[in-house]
Structure 1
Amino acid sequence: MKKNEFQALGISQELAEALHKHGYNEPTPIQREAIPSVLGGHDVIAQAQTGTGKTLAFVLPILESIDPNRSHVQALIVTPTRELAIQITEEVARWAPLKGIRVLSAYGGQDVERQIRKLEGAIHIIVATPGRLLDHLRRETVQLFKLSTLVLDEADQMLHMGFLPEVVEIISATPTRRQTLLFSATMPERVRQLAKEYMKPPVEIEVKAKRVTLDEIEQIVVQTTDRGKLDALCKAMEEDPPFLGMIFCRTKLRATKLRDELDERGYAVDELHGDLTQAKREQVMKRFRDAKIQFLVATDIAARGLDVEGITHVYNYDIPHDAESYIHRIGRTGRAGMTGKAITFTAPRDAFYLEAIEKGIKMQLVKRPGRGGAEARTDERSERGGRQGGRRGEARTAGGRGARGAAGRGAAARADADVQRHQRHAAARARSAGAQRRAAGATARHAEPDAAQRADAAAPEHAVKARCRGAARRAARATVPPHAADAERQRQAPAAAARAARRDAVTAPSAGAAARAGRRARSADGRRSQRRSRSARRQRGSAWAFRRRWCSGARRCRPRTQAGGPRRSGWRPEARQISVT
């Protein structure tokens, strides 16, 4: 019977029956090849496509080889990400109670004291990430000197994430007689070099297929632009709605921004990346597994080993830069014999990465134009023309919605030229009207004397004489005799002198101010003199101190004198005279 095919590989009957109850009727190719070798105690390097059951290929033999009566750690499974550690722990915990085996997951973001308390009991299998495991090793809360089996799952990703020093330190803490297993979908040269250094001659298992990626995954490339990616993604999700879909971005910032934009458009979406706390990451994964959210925007931390039932579509919003990342990303769908769809959105500048991916997976991907091909470029030009037309329409009264295409832009340009031409004509007419008004005013001013002369000629003689007498009286009142002007100046002279005196009194310094200024000046001079005196004393003191130091000891300085003559300038050292009385 099919349920006994696992028994034929060496799996116990109770485990085989439990597998059958959960729908595992026959082993996958990688399980057929790997299980007997692992049960035989050999080191194994296993390579197979994603979604082919690699986890059970090492979990089942480990469960068969562990002795539950021994309380020490007998198997260690190291994974690159927390999500993968949680997933493997759940897989082991599903079958471990059948054998009485206890398992513990140790990864960052959890309470380390709680993990330490759990480690005080009997733990047979530890599933851990490199950083937290090294933390326990340094605290000496985990002992690996009796370890039997070491598993490096997704070893290539651990090296890619820079965990090589940590992996080497973990390996050095295990006994040399251990069994080492390496499982991954890709096996670069660095992983093989690590295997040569730390493994006994391994059994290499590679499940070959016609293509590197699964045939059950339909792979499509949508050609777009960076600006048109969001619209192209929404269009793809609406045309072929997934049950659950994963959207991969290159950076955490891009993932957060895309999540916000999709949330504004009404999609049930959440994000998963390294900046989230561990509690938040677990909460997001639980909601996604329970189908409470339909789309999960994630970075490459969710591209390795993550197995969520119901993922039908994978969207590469940002194209991966190598074939290995592409293989692991699209491997989240089409698992366990199910079908899936992988859609990759590429901009013109992504042509190099697309070519590298096609070369790595050894197949040509189907390319479809989306928003971002000719259609997207036309839409961008139309939208830009529409915005310009709208601004021009605001300048005009009629306005407009903007032209679409080259014809629309040309019509808007012509309309703009008409507006400018009308404005120029209006300004010219205004200038002309102003010139005409100025000319009319000048003509009127020049015409006024002629009108007065004509009025005088038409008026009677007595009216002319009356106007002349009035003009003479006004001229007489306006004329001031010289003696009157001198009298006025003399009358105003005292007041002017008083104003000048007050002004001088305000501006001139008082006697007290003058005295204070003199004291400040004398004080400043005194301070300068004191500073010069102190400087001279310091110089003299330095000279005397130097002489004292130079003449100390067995010799001393004395003034050199002549017999009976005056003391001469200068000094010379002489022997010290000691008299004893």
Structure 2
Amino acid sequence: MSNINFSNLNLHPKVLQSIDAMGFEEPSQIQAESIPVILEGHDVIGQAQTGTGKTLAFGAPMLSKINNDRKNISALILTPTRELAIQVNDELSKIAKFRKVRLMPIYGGQPIDRQIRSLKSGVDVVVGTPGRILDHISRKTIDLSKIQFLIIDEADEMLDMGFIDDIEDIIKKVNSDRQTLLFSATMPDQINKLASKYMSKDVKIIKIEKNTLTVEKIKQYYYEIKHKDRFESLCRILDVDEPSSAIIFCKTKRGVDELVESMQARGYSVEGMHGDMSQNQRLGTLRKFKNGSLDFLVATDVAARGIDVENVTHVINYDLPQDTEYYVHRIGRTGRANKEGIAYSLVTPREYILLKQIEKYTKSKIKRKEIPTIDDIFEAKYKHISEKIRTTLSENNFKNFIPIATELDEEYNLVDVAAALMKMLFENEISFDYKENSLNTNVDQEIRLFLSIGRLDNITPRKLIKFIHETSSIEAHEIGDIDILNKFTFINVSESVASVILKKTNGKKFQGRRVSVEVAKSKKKK
């Protein structure tokens, strides 16, 4: 982690304004090391794990330097999948918010006529998949002869999906007087050869070493939520778990302020910490959190740096971090002093890709939990209230209230009186005015598919992914666990992906043999 601010990196003022509006406090390591070198005009090879903020690492300097006149395409960014093209384009749109830059994602599955019309109207930055970019090149509907930047994102994924030849064909069509940026999680030989062949001799190599993570004492879970239900989902989780001490992480300073305000309005003992607060404010808040005056601390990653509190039972990622390395630091705030800890993440369907990147980065499985229902909350509160009553009875210090109970006994059944008092306690402990018993997220369930090819058919995970992609346009990241046996194969996919594969891949031929695809009749993978 660096202590450099974005304002120290000589970015375009409008780009800095966008980054500030996004709420990021300081650059990640790949951003801090890459941005100055790119701004100096060097070709760059950036090696860092997926999810470490690479889009901003190349996007901010690129958007600071390009000639945004729309007469010519200024930058081409190649991504291996349609989903990543959309994700990168969305991120660049945020960085370019205050610059008059027109961005356009180009990928298969969209009507090409619509893409051609948009290209003719003028585009500054194109984010695309190799196949569709080549299609436009062959149609002469895209001109790459005057680009300033060629950026290859997730180069090793390109290799795994067999796109290297396509990339070379594209590179041959762009002008030689360009700045080339290549970002990859790993650097296999084929990527090194590509770099040595098409990048300048003084190319700068920036390698970010991966941190190790020990999570034996930390139980990791995620809740899949709708964006509009994010705050209610958090309240339901807190009402059921009743953590004695928890740190809740937000991605931005504004997010911290808004969450603290919402939680305080509902009676939570909570304060926030972020970079806009003075050192005295942060120290005061931390002191209260350490001595137990606060139950909850809401913080950004930068503000939480250096927090060492032994009794934190929960870490909750209200927002997933912009950098997977931050996830490591976040959840490490619990499970200290050889105690067990719990880490929860709230994830929308659009953020599911990032969750998988975090799992890959940390080499750990993050298990899914269902958002608590009102019935779950009632059961948890009932146990808590019952324990309180039993403790009070055992302490035998309620004698002053016996006359009141005796008076009520003359008018009401004491069981009804006790139930009414418990209802009052329950309502006092509930933090949110829940309307529905369950928050239905309508999330796809995982399906296990059977395919009638196996090792004896010379199938490998890479070949299988390519076969499925070619027959059904399903992308690599949409396919979960793959189990290849001698005569057949099992894959885990979401319900919606399964329906596409069953419809389009079933009956297609792999190396001359027709492949049968069906829902597995055997038990699902646990």
Q: Could you say which structure has the higher helix fraction? A: 1
TM-score, length-scaled by structure 1: 0.40
Q: Which protein has the larger Cα radius of gyration, Structure 1 or Structure 2? A: 1
Q: Which has the higher contact order (CA 8 A, sep 6+)?
A: 2
TM-score, length-scaled by structure 2: 0.44
